[in-house]
Amino acid sequence: MTKVGLGLALTVGTASAVAAQQTRPDTARRERAERGDRGERRRGGPDAALLKGITLTDAQKTQLTTMREAQRSEMQKNREQFSAAMKEARAAREKGDTATARAKMTAVRTQMTQQRDRQMAALRTILTAEQQKQFDANVAAWKERGQRGMRGDREGHQGHGARGGQKR
């Protein structure tokens, strides 16, 4: 009887430990995604890193808001196109056609980069000459961080090329 009791206690204890470990830290992120919250909800908006160290006047803030509103429909249309292209790339990859998948993904990345460059250029136009210097420095730092991430140079991160914790 004590063996059965001990076995039952171990089973219950193990089940409790497993349940406790299943509480995921990314629950809040998943909940925000389900509600549709995107980068615009972050502190400082989507351009926070680019505007670091820059104090906008009220007029510039108004211009920025107007610019974002004007770009919203274009971004929505592009998001739908990018999503469709990525689905096509995924389908091609699942069929074993990696060349087509890679080409579609490269095309989407190129279009996204061009869109972001247009947005940064538009944002830059509302800044003073002094603010543009800081903005340009922020853009350079932002691009450098992106390149480090792609190469996997950040400690604790393996970049986009690694899969599931595999070592290179």
Mean pLDDT to the nearest integer, 32-52 = 61
Show me where the domains of the chain are located: 70-125
The answer to whether 104 and 94 are in contact (CB under 8 A) is: no
User: What pLDDT is attached to residue 115?
Assistant: 86
What does the radius of gyration of the chain's CA atoms come to, in whole angstroms? 23
User: What pLDDT is attached to residue 81?
Assistant: 86
CA 150 to CA 157: how far, in whole Å? 10
Is the model more confident about 49 or about 136? 136
CA 41 to CA 31: how far, in whole Å? 13
Q: What is the mean pLDDT of the chain?
A: 75
pLDDT in tens, 100-143: 888 888 988 898 888 888 889 999 999 999 999 999 999 998 88
CA 82 to CA 68: how far, in whole Å? 19
